[in-house]
Amino acid sequence: MVEMLYEKDVTTNYLAGKKVAFIGYGAQGHAQANNLRDSGVEVVVGVRPGQSADKAKNDGFEVYSVAEAAKQADWVQMLTPDEVMADVYKNEVADNLEPGNVLGFSHGFNVYYKEIVPPADVDVVMMAPKGPGNLCRRTYKEGFGVPALYAVYQDHSGHAEDLAKEFAKANGAARAGLLATTFKEETDEDLFGEQNVLMGGITALIETGFEVLTEAGYSPELAYFEVEHEMKLICDLIYEGGFAKMYKDCSNTSEYGSYTRGPRVVNEESKRAMKQNLQEIQDGTFAKEFMDDYHNGFKKLYAYRSEMEQSQLQKVGDELRAKMPFVAAEDKYSD
């Protein structure tokens, strides 16, 4: 069983005096850079000219090219999208790493699948928050944080694990809890969760439920509320107290139906499909397919995205959400 660590358990001070360069200033880059600066760490940002650079400058950071930021820093935290990270690393970071530097990640994808092969004379660590960037930043400012995983891929200094934990603590994650993992485990589980449950599974379930109701003649608007809008309410209950709280706060009818009808939908056939998906994550099939599509201009991804945006479910949802200001989308990130 993995032990959960908290602030009191992180007592070393190897991060002190190090300059951290955040490569990328999107949701995670913005959150981590601001959190670490607020924790007293010296921070610079490395991005290309554009909206992210302007945002970082407006937030008071020293902003440089990726190469210059990496050259200045003792710790380079890679927070660009997975598909572009290897090119950014090879073209702008690799030649600017010095022996004894720390190369940090928040997802193991590129290292695990060897898109990035770090030099032997640096520490390679990971701090992966279990929440989106805007939540990491908001909870930090509220005096709390989101839990995080930490891992060591390469320990050159002899205290890479302590560095990973200190970085997580400076991000506010140790307030909520830290769990040790490996680059392999984090990547496998993260991709599996996204594909089969959190995104792929949920969206497929909602879409299919919507289609069954509308094809049977039920109102698309009512179908939307039934299978998509209420999903957040149910997930909130599970988040607060697991299945027990969810069932307690819902009707006996719904609980009984869940036990007896749910397994007809998600069953042994679904489990076999999940196992196949996990195998394709473990053997690199998914990573190759994804990167091949990226190098081909993301033709498949953009086609899937267009199909989703044009679906009846999305259009009905857009119309209804426009009349519900309490569910309006927030800014991408805010400080």
Reference 85, options 44, 28, 33, 168; nearest CA is 28
Domain assignment of residue 210, yes or no: yes
Whether residues 23 and 147 fall in one domain: yes
Q: Is the pLDDT of residue 331 over 60?
A: no
Domain assignment of residue 15, yes or no: yes
28 marked as binding residue: yes
Last residue of a domain, one of 150, 181, 212: 181
| pLDDT tens, position by position, 245-265 | 999 999 999 999 999 999 999
Whether residues 234 and 310 fall in one domain: yes
Domain assignment of residue 229, yes or no: yes
User: What is the CB neighbour count within 10 angstroms for residue 251?
Assistant: 9
Report pTM: 0.92
Q: Is the pLDDT of residue 2 over 90?
A: no
Domain assignment of residue 282, yes or no: no
Distance CA 107, CA 82 (A): 8
Domain assignment of residue 292, yes or no: no
Whether residues 138 and 251 fall in one domain: no
Q: Is the pLDDT of residue 3 over 90?
A: no
Question: What is the pLDDT at residue 140?
Answer: 97
194 marked as binding residue: yes
Count of domains observed in the chain: 2
| pLDDT tens, position by position, 206-236 | 999 999 999 999 999 999 999 999 999 999 9
Find the catalytic residue in 30, 107, 229, 295: 107
Whether residues 141 and 214 fall in one domain: no
| pLDDT tens, position by position, 119-147 | 999 999 999 999 999 999 999 999 999 99
| pLDDT tens, position by position, 64-97 | 999 999 999 999 999 999 999 999 999 999 999 9
Which residues 6+ apart lie within 8 Å of 264 measured at CB? none
Whether residues 121 and 217 fall in one domain: no
CATH (domain of 177): 3.40.50.720
Q: Label residue 243 by pLDDT band (50, 70, 90).
A: very high
Question: What is the pLDDT at residue 327?
Answer: 75
Whether residues 57 and 163 fall in one domain: yes
Give yes or no: 107 in active site: yes
Whether residues 14 and 154 fall in one domain: yes
Considering the chain, what is the average pLDDT of its residues? Answer: 95
52 marked as binding residue: yes
Distance CA 143, CA 308 (A): 38
CB burial readout 290-299, b (16+ within 10 A) else e: bbebbeeeee
Whether residues 253 and 308 fall in one domain: yes
Q: Is the pLDDT of residue 323 over 80?
A: yes
Question: What is the pLDDT at residue 329?
Answer: 58
Domain assignment of residue 123, yes or no: yes
Domain assignment of residue 156, yes or no: yes
Whether residues 43 and 126 fall in one domain: yes
143 marked as binding residue: no
Q: Label residue 330 by pLDDT band (50, 70, 90).
A: low
Last residue of a domain, one of 147, 181, 215: 181
Whether residues 18 and 95 fall in one domain: yes
Domain assignment of residue 273, yes or no: no
Q: Is the pLDDT of residue 306 over 70?
A: yes
Whether residues 204 and 119 fall in one domain: no
Whether residues 169 and 207 fall in one domain: no
Last residue of a domain, one of 181, 212, 235: 181
Which residues 6+ apart lie within 8 Å of 15 measured at CB? 41, 75, 163, 166, 167, 170
Provide the residue range defining the domain that includes 255.
199-266+298-330
